[in-house]
Structure 1
Amino acid sequence: MNNIIRYTIKSGDNLYIIASRYNTTVKDILAHNVGLNPQSIKVGQVIFVPKNINYSRPIRINRSVLGLNNLMRMLWEQHITWTRIVIMDIVYDLPETPFAINRLLRNPQDFGNAFRRFYGDVVAQRITVLFTEHLTLAADIVVAAKENNQARVEELNSQWFRNADDIAKLLASINPFWSFVEWQKMLYEHLELVTNEALNFINNRLEANVALYDEMERQALGMADTMTEGIVRQFSNLFGSLR
């Protein structure tokens, strides 16, 4: 327990900031605080924080780091929000469907642009293509499920999970602080949550879907924080001074 501290939440804190301050990760903090909701921490609340001695240096929290974290969190929030809207539009045959799909498909471009600064045009384009495929397959699965075409659902689902593997492989190949296994696990969890969300709408389990969205948000923001942490550690020279 020498590497576990009791930490009192302060104004402006979130779990990513706390994790960075103590050389640990959001995932490790959650593992030591069963039932903790990252989106509802309050000033004065006491949590347990593991100090990870394996990292070579702490991440300094400054405006550049916070700016990147805010961007990644916004992109993942938009990702799950517009995915949810498109699912509802498809299930309920709403007239806004094509417009919502167009907005959803801006998200992969925005992710690509966020990665371009650090990894260049080739990686940015690959991110855009893979995330576009991810979202397109999700929409096609909803259509097939709504039509009760189980064979088509299974075919598309296999492609969807292969796409998740491709995303995990790409991320692991460009950043030494990201692993294929870690990203595969997070992306598979994301796919399962989106699947449950679609099935809840199709089967009119609306109350369950409200509760599910909280879990989807927690999981998506965890991916955002993982992206931030990996980029900041890999490109620490770009995040070294307070501006």
Structure 2
Amino acid sequence: MIIRKLFNEQCITFSQMNLIYNSRFIWRALSTWTRAYLISRYLGIGTEESLFTRLYNESSKFGDMFSLVFGERFSENFTWLLNEYTIALRDLVSAQKEGNTDGVNKSLERLYSNAAERARLLAQANPFWDESTWRNIFETYLRFTIEMINSFITGDYSNDAEAYDRLTAFTNNIGDYFAQGIYEFLTYTPLKTENLQVHEALNPISFNKISDLRQCITRNQVDAIYSLRMFWFELATWTRYYLISRYKGIGNEDIILARLNKVVDEYGTMLRRIFGDQITEEYLNLIYTHIKLIISLITAQIERNADIAAEATRLLYQNAEQSASFLASINPFWDKTTLRDRLYSYIRSTINESTTFLTGEYDRNIDIFARILTHAENTGNEFAMGLFNYIISKKLNL
């Protein structure tokens, strides 16, 4: 008889929190690069080959995680299937662009067959995962992906932001099911040294001492930290989509800007849940000002107005200094210098990203975006560590 060991909603440890985060993030990153690949195929932003390589390489991240938990053989089999999925997706787009209906149908058949095979393999490897559940997950994910393709085919972007939000929200659900299954698998037997090593390997932030494993927070607190952790990723992603709307005329500029501002709204709401009245309108206005300055910079670059671009850049760095100072003042577990340096790096990269849109250097543009996403992930990890320590120290209830 298999005894299930579910997450304790009232006591989730740091390692469990990071397992949940990593499981969500790996699916989110796959979705982000899928969208970037589709943009390269339909809109010509970035070369098809370089974007396909980046999407293909996302499979290796699943392989790394699976090899730690289920072994090399399983990892190789699942990675091969995920690579086949990526190839079938490429062939689907090619067939559609060529008007090859038979090719489209064959590619769709391959994609759904691949989803079934991945579901079967996962269920075989882990008794805590259900084959029908995984199959439904993969088929739903595929349908969302096809929705994106259809918006590019028709040029109707009226619901694009909402559709992408549905996809990213669904990746959270996938990640949660993924994380719970891995946790149950790892804790099916008493925690041994090798199990602890797996926990640490799956955790992007190093454990300082084993006693850290005994500290815990609630599931609501985990979700709040996750939202704040993902702020940097969401900011980078929607800023890019806004850049695409301005430089390429793709999508509704106003809708995308509203979605970008919503990222800040959600960020402020979550900050207030943790820090209360310390989160003032003055600070939130700094973040809204950051977006306004990015818009001013883009407009100045498009209009070739070097003076306004230089002034917007100066104000962006000033804004970053003020933001870092404020965040460090409300949480002793955040370092002002580190935050400032990370914000400075983000601004430099965003300016470079905007410039490459202007010059049409799309391969370099994709490299910059990849660095921005890596930077966002690292910043989010650091942010999460400070939040976890703050909640523990204050014994907060959310």
Structure 1 window deviating more from structure 2 (43-52 vs 207-216): it is 43-52
Normalising by structure 1, what TM-score? 0.74
CA drift at 1:80? 1.1
TM-aligned CA distance change 1:235 to 1:114, over 3 Å = same
Which of 194, 198, 201 pairs up with 2:354? 198
Which of 65, 85, 90 pairs up with 1:42? 65
In structure 1, give the amino acid aligned to 2:234. Q
Residues 147-196 of structure 1: CA distance to partner in whole angstroms, max 9, x if unpaired? 11111111110000000001000001000011110100110111111111
TM-aligned CA distance change 1:113 to 1:230, over 3 Å = same
- 2:324 touches 2:336 (CA, 8 Å); kept in 1? yes
From the two aligned structures, give the one with the greater helix fraction.
2
Alignment of 1:1-243 (within 5 A): 13=19, 40=61, 41-44=64-67, 52=208, 59-60=215-216, 63-64=219-220, 66-94=222-250, 96-236=252-392, 237-238=395-396
In structure 1, give the amino acid aligned to 2:307. A
TM-aligned CA distance change 1:51 to 1:114, over 3 Å = closer
Normalising by structure 2, what TM-score? 0.47
Query: How many angstroms apart in 1 are the aligned matches of 2:281 and 2:374?
Result: 27
CA drift at 1:146? 1.5
CA drift at 1:220? 1.0
Structure 2, unpaired ranges of 5+: 1-17, 24-57, 69-197
- 1:68 touches 1:228 (CA, 8 Å); kept in 2? no
The DSSP-based 3-state class of the residue aligned with 1:44 is helix
CA drift at 1:91? 1.6
- 2:205 touches 2:381 (CA, 8 Å); kept in 1? no
- 1:69 touches 1:224 (CA, 8 Å); kept in 2? no
Aligned residues: 210
TM-aligned CA distance change 1:82 to 1:178, over 3 Å = same
Structure 1 window deviating more from structure 2 (220-229 vs 102-111): it is 220-229
Query: How many angstroms apart in 2 are the aligned matches of 1:126 and 1:92?
Result: 34
Structure 1 window deviating more from structure 2 (200-209 vs 156-165): it is 200-209
- 1:73 touches 1:224 (CA, 8 Å); kept in 2? yes
TM-aligned CA distance change 1:184 to 1:140, over 3 Å = same
Identical-residue share of aligned pairs (%): 22
CA drift at 1:63? 3.1
The DSSP-based 3-state class of the residue aligned with 1:177 is coil
